[in-house]
Amino acid sequence: MHCIDDVRDFNRMLRRRSDGFRQKLRDWLAGKTLTLAEARVSRVLVPMVGIYTPGFQALPACSWTFVELVTNEGLVGTGEWQIDIGDDTRACLDRLRGDANHNLLDLEHEQPLYMAWWDLVGQALGRPLHLLWADLFERGFDPPGRVPMAAYTWQRFADAQGRDAVTFETWPDHAKMQAELGFPAIKMSCAAYQPEDHIEVIHRVREAIGPDVRLRFDPHGTWNLAEARRILRAVEDCDIEFVEQPVCALLPRLFYPEGEPVPQRSGDGRGFQAEYYFRYMTQLRQEQPIPLSCHWWTPPIVYPPGASPASDRWEPDWTMMQLYDAADIASPDIGLGPWGLWRLYELARFMGMRLTLHSNFELCLQLYFRCAMAAALMTDRQSAGLYMGSAPRPCHPIDNETIQVSDDVIEGGQFDFTGGHVRLTDAPGHGLKLDPQRVEKYRYTKEAADAHKAQEQKLYSNYMIDRPRRTTQSGWPKPPGPESVDRHFFPYEIAKIFGEDETQEVDVKLNR
């Protein structure tokens, strides 16, 4: 049992400071008014490079929705959502359309309008977002203008023209190509093949990219504890930067009869069994030297019933923190918003953890927004001298999944990732605008979705990866032949992309 009274005191102090920062932002915005002239909502469907496959998937294209808040004062705020906007955003837009005099800069609109709202705030104050946040949260220095990234790589099927496959054999060459573009780190998604097969491919990727490029990988919780122990020990000589979520987190819902409520510890509503998961992560961390990352142990947090992640109403999971030390690296999501992300990063620093920022399946607008957050809230100017109390070298490059998408709908199209960094702009807000021609080219229609769905279903009907798995999900020997895929599942609402009405869970029933 760890004593964490100092962390409790520190968190109380952070809450007091956060209240002060909110008041400071209100003061900055006092006297400034922006009113809505038009709210444009555009949903797009952009093809992938190859076909997205991690974890029994076959996704030829993915969907994003953009909101443009056109103001009577001439400013336009733009935000990006995965697949589609939520009910809270739709309700907020309906209210604003019905009240032409309502001030868009009111803080009540931050959560439902998120990136578009912060874009307007930055423009209204004449500040780029990374500089605005650094000033707002009193970081004490101008954040860097370049943010390093890790190129996210995975096995993938060829597209309809037979191009852009990544296989067990070609993965090292693919990783080397990303390293040669200048990415300082390569990330591997290790969920496609038989768990032990990743030992060989990790070694081959390390050899291909050389010793100076960082290498990290993510099994997405698809390995059991015994597999994780065996595999991590076998790749210790590959100089692994960190491994993300190497072991599984069981889902209580799957073990209860339909309709029977699932008890949740502390009312947190989480879908994984934290006690078992954090115990195993702690054991694994103590048994081998590769650093562990987890976007559940960031440190762990819980929300009050009904609270959204961006509400900053969460509290650290004090029980779990007293019992376990489950990760070396905090990897939160930008869904926490600037307030929650600032508080969590400060807690992680205080606890001696290292920092990165978890990726979201995104286009370049969200990637840029994430980079601005990382620059402002994650980086440190402290130096490590011959004394205690500083946090030397805490930051890791952030993941980039955008390289897996074939195009973008912002002006200028997808970023040029040569050099492996995103360069932050001096323009106020996030500085990105939609390209109307590109939006029209990729506009979501039933016809476009049906064409991609037909390609998806063709792959699902004969789901053959280039390195077939040799055991089922149960661990028993698997007969030769294609996988049996009978349910779409996490991490993305796959069914909703192609207009299907299908219940999706965070686990699978397949691979018979």
Query: For 365-378, b where at least 16 C-beta lie within 10 A, e where not — what string?
Result: bbbbbbbbbbbbbb
pLDDT at 267: 44
pLDDT band at residue 299 using 50, 70 and 90 as cut-offs: very high
Mean pLDDT, the chain, rounded, equals 90
Instruction: Check residues 256 and 213 and name the one with the higher pLDDT.
Output: 213
The most distant pair of C-alpha atoms in the chain lies apart, rounded to whole Å, by 70
**pLDDT tens-digit series, residues 162-180:** 999 999 999 999 999 999 9
pLDDT band at residue 101 using 50, 70 and 90 as cut-offs: confident
Angle, in degrees to the nearest 10, between helices 197-209 and 171-181: 30
pLDDT at 384: 64
Instruction: Check residues 497 and 158 and name the one with the higher pLDDT.
Output: 158
Half-sphere exposure of residue 136: CA atoms within 13 angstroms, side-chain side: 29
pLDDT band at residue 491 using 50, 70 and 90 as cut-offs: very low
pLDDT at 465: 87
Look at 136-140, 190-194, 430-434 and tell me which has the smallest mean pLDDT: 190-194
The amino acid at residue 229 is R
**pLDDT tens-digit series, residues 450-486:** 999 888 888 888 888 899 889 887 888 988 877 766 5
Percent of the chain with pLDDT over 90: 72
pLDDT at 510: 47
pTM for the structure as a whole: 0.94
pLDDT at 495: 59
The Cα–Cα gap between 392 and 111 comes to 33
**Residue range 97-118: average pLDDT?**
94
Q: Is 419 left (phi over 0), alpha (psi -120 to 50) or beta?
A: left
- Is the pLDDT at 386 greater than 70? The verdict is no
**Residue range 41-65: average pLDDT?**
89
Task: Read off the tokens for 151.
Answer: 């190129």
- Check the CA dihedral 462-465-467-469 and report its sign: negative
The H or E element containing residue 231 is helix 225-234
- Name the residue among 457, 480, 473, 477 with its Cα closest to residue 55: 473
pLDDT at 490: 43
Spatial contact of 155 and 171, defined as CB atoms under 8 Å apart: yes
pLDDT at 481: 79
pLDDT band at residue 377 using 50, 70 and 90 as cut-offs: very high
Burial of 410 (0-12, 13-18, 19+ CB in 10 A): buried
Q: Estimate to the nearest angstrom the gap between the alpha carbon of 395 and the chain centroid.
A: 16
Residue 191, CA distances (Å) to 55, 172, 280, 445, 504 in order: 6, 16, 19, 31, 19
Look at 46-50, 250-254, 314-318 and tell me which has the smallest mean pLDDT: 250-254
Q: Which residues contact 327 (CB under 8 A, 6 or more apart)?
A: 281, 285, 292, 293, 294, 297, 298, 353
